[in-house]
Amino acid sequence: MKLYVYYSVFVLFLVTSVNLFAFDAPFPDNELICSNIRDTDTSLRVKLLDAKSLTHNTKGYNEYEYKAVVLEVYKGSFKVGQEIKYNETREADLPPKLPLGEKVISLMQSKGAIWNIPDNGYAFDYEPGLGKRYKEQAIKCVQKPIQPIRQEASPD
How much is the pTM? 0.70
In this prediction, residues 135-154 reach a mean pLDDT of 64
* Phi, psi dihedral angles at 83 (to 5 degrees): -85, 135
Closest of 119, 127, 152 to residue 35, by C-alpha: 119
Segment 15-69, tens digit of pLDDT = 333 333 333 446 789 999 999 999 999 999 999 999 888 988 888 898 989 999 9
64 or 142: whose pLDDT is higher? 64
Give the domain 25-141 fold.
OB fold (Dihydrolipoamide Acetyltransferase, E2P) (2.40.50)
Q: Which helix (H) or strand (E) element contains residue 125?
A: strand 123-125
Alpha-carbon distance of 99 to 102, in angstroms, equals 9
Q: Is the pLDDT of residue 6 over 60?
A: no
The pLDDT of residue 146 is: 41
Q: To 5 degrees, how large is the angle CA 121–CA 124–CA 129? A: 120
Alpha-carbon distance of 86 to 5, in angstroms, equals 57
